[in-house]
Structure formats: structure tokens, C-alpha cells
Amino acid sequence: MSQTQVDATALFCRLLERAKPEINGQALRLGADAVAAKLLLHERVLVHGALLDWVTCPECGVQTARVVQDKSKETIALLCPECGDVEGPRPLRETYKVALQKFVVSLLNGLGFSLNGMKPIVPDLIWRLGTTEAKRGKAVTWYFARRLLRPEVASRLREQINLDQSAQSCVILTSSETPLPAGSALTEFDVRPLFTVGRVGQNTFEFFQNRQADPGPQILDEAVPGTTLRYVRDQGKVFIEGAEYLLDPTQKNILVALIDDHDHEMGNDAIKTSCGSQAQRFSPSKAFDKNEATQRVYRTFVIFQRGDERYRLIIPENDHDWLR
Ligand SMILES: [Zn+2]
């Protein structure tokens, strides 16, 4: 973990805290953060934004000058109402923005979560990353939010936590600095600033293992699971009467889609879309029709309702604490 990575993550958090997570190329590439910025560009969590046609004149620093043309890779020609023809550095007209969706995916990768289980709550502001099992079967719900210092954002996330009934067990990752101001709707929660839990990386946010509670499920040593869907998402397997059944990726995706669906009932097309399947003739029963074991998994956890042509998840009693 280099100092540059530390600086880059701090810079990244500052950008995420802006109303629009964008920055001018001049400030980014030629300022004090130039080295950190270079790493963010290299990791592609920062990408090119629009080129500006009007910029503050570099000569007088007051007037707004029009960009006449790019003179070279590093220089542009400008026309200032006061100074006339002037030259300036090209980064002056460049902008960079945070690749928000890509960054959220990198967080999911860092936590070992699937995209299927993620839900944007407020576009570009609040995300529910997923729910995992921690110790003793207690589900933990993970959120990521920008701009939590703003009371209305904190309140919106608090509302969502109420809706999700996750107040007793949630972790909130944020680009904001903590502690949150007194009176914030989130003061009593486990809020973790990104730069204290890990580092920005290209495809994966690299969580520090020693400072991060293990986000994955923990199988209890003392008990063999009976019949449960608990390990589908993170380990790609189910248990039926204590026996372990491994799922292939499609089978896993089908079960995750039904688990995540609000009433655990879906039509064939919705499941197919959710799984990202390209198969010509897709159906859940076909996906499980490989051998006796997979057929048993299907019969145990999925029922096809002929009347309305929908597939319904059969939730085992063991899972009623986290899935209903
Ligand atoms: Zn000027």
C-alpha cells in the first residue's frame, strides 16, 4: 500500500463529496494532487468529462475567455475580451468525472457481492450493496452513500434502513468524513469512511483485511445446516437436510433472483433477464434438469405455479429469520 494510493483514495473521496463528482483538468492534473490524480486516471475510476468551450482566462484570471482551438496536446489558443489572443494549458478546458457505476461495482467486488443483490436507492447518491450473514445467523446489510454530511441525505438513508428493517445490523460505507454532525439521522450507526477501510483499485476496492469485519457468511461450527438458502449468494450452494449441493452459475443466479425479488415470485422472462441469460430456450426447470441432485434442489426450493406461469421460491423454515 503506497502513499500514492492513500492520497488517491483521499482525493477520490473528496471528489465524491462534490455535488457533481467532477473536476477541472487544470486543478486535477497540475495541482497539488497531480500524482494521486494520475493513479485515479490510470485505475479508470476517473474518466474524461466534457471539454469546455469557455474557461477563466489564464492571463488576467478574471475574464471568461473563449477556446479558439487546441494548438497542441498541451496548449490551447484562447480569446479573452480584455487580453485578446492568449495561450493556455490544455488541461484548462478538460474535465474529469468519477465513474460512479464502475466504482460501485468495484465496491461489490471488494465485498464479494453479486451485482444482482445491489439496489440503487437514490440515483448516484445512495446504494444498498447487499446483505450478508455475519455471526450466528444475523444478517448484515451494507450500504454506500455519498454526501452524508447533508442532513437530507442522511435522513433518506435512515428511512431506507427503516424500510429494510436493518437498523440492528447494517454497515454504511461513505466518502464523507466522520463523525457525522450531531443531530444527524445516522449518528448511532456503524458509518465507515472509505479511506479508513481500504483503497481504490481498478476493478476492486481493496478492503484492509485486518480492519474490516469479514463480510462473508460464517458457517456455524456447532451445527450442520439443515435445509437452507443461506449460502446461495456467497458460496453458490444450498443445503438440503444437512447435505451440501453445489450450484452452477445459472442455478445460483436463478435462486439469487428469486431471493432478491420482493415477493419471491417471478415469470420466466424476468428470471432470464435477472440472470443475464442469452439462452434461446431458457427456463429454470431446464437449468436444474442436469441430474438427480440438481432436480432435488429445484423441487426443494422452487415451485412452478401453472395458473399464472410464475416460479415461486420455497423458503425453508430455517431461513425465516432473514428471508420472508
Ligand atoms: Zn484575460
β-bridge mates for residue 66, sequence order: 54, 79
Distance 38 CA to ligand 1 centre (A): 29
Distance 62 CA to ligand 1 centre (A): 6
Determine contact, residues 137/321, Cβ cutoff 8 Å.
yes
Claim to verify: residue 181 and residue 272 sit in the same structural domain: no
What digits encode the pLDDT tens for the residues 97-118? Answer: 999 999 999 999 998 888 888 9
The CATH number that applies at residue 269 is: 1.10.10
Claim to verify: residue 178 and residue 87 sit in the same structural domain: no
Determine contact, residues 49/96, Cβ cutoff 8 Å.
yes
Kindly tell me if the per-residue pLDDT of 219 is higher than 80.
Answer: no
Mean pLDDT for the stretch of residues 270-279? 90
CA atoms within 13 A on the CB side of 322: 22
Distance 55 CA to ligand 1 centre (A): 10
What digits encode the pLDDT tens for the residues 232-253? Answer: 988 889 988 878 889 999 999 9
pLDDT of residue 217: 39
Kindly tell me if the per-residue pLDDT of 89 is higher than 70.
Answer: yes
Distance 74 CA to ligand 1 centre (A): 19
What digits encode the pLDDT tens for the residues 34-56? Answer: 899 999 999 889 999 999 999 99
Pairing of strands 139-145, 64-70: unpaired
Claim to verify: residue 282 and residue 183 sit in the same structural domain: no
Whether residue 214 is contained in a domain is answered as no
Whether residue 225 is contained in a domain is answered as no
Claim to verify: residue 249 and residue 197 sit in the same structural domain: no
Query: Is the CA virtual torsion 69, 53, 65, 29 positive or negative?
Result: negative
* Angle of CA points 198, 199, 201, to nearest 5°: 135
Whether residue 226 is contained in a domain is answered as no
Domain total for the chain?
Answer: 3
Kindly tell me if the per-residue pLDDT of 172 is higher than 60.
Answer: yes
Share of residues in the chain with pLDDT > 90 (%): 60
Whether residue 221 is contained in a domain is answered as no
C-alpha cell at 321: 429469520
Confidence of residue 315 (pLDDT cuts 50, 70, 90): very high
* Cα 20 from Cα 202, distance rounded (Å): 21
Distance 37 CA to ligand 1 centre (A): 28
Domain coverage including residue 16: 3-98
Claim to verify: residue 133 and residue 148 sit in the same structural domain: yes
User: Taking all residues of the chain, what is their mean pLDDT, rounded to a whole number?
Assistant: 88
Distance 35 CA to ligand 1 centre (A): 29
Distance 222 CA to ligand 1 centre (A): 75
Confidence of residue 201 (pLDDT cuts 50, 70, 90): confident
Distance 31 CA to ligand 1 centre (A): 21
Distance 24 CA to ligand 1 centre (A): 19
Whether residue 284 is contained in a domain is answered as yes
Confidence of residue 212 (pLDDT cuts 50, 70, 90): low
pTM: 0.62
Claim to verify: residue 59 and residue 139 sit in the same structural domain: no
Length of the chain: 324
Kindly tell me if the per-residue pLDDT of 74 is higher than 60.
Answer: yes
* Cα 197 from Cα 93, distance rounded (Å): 34
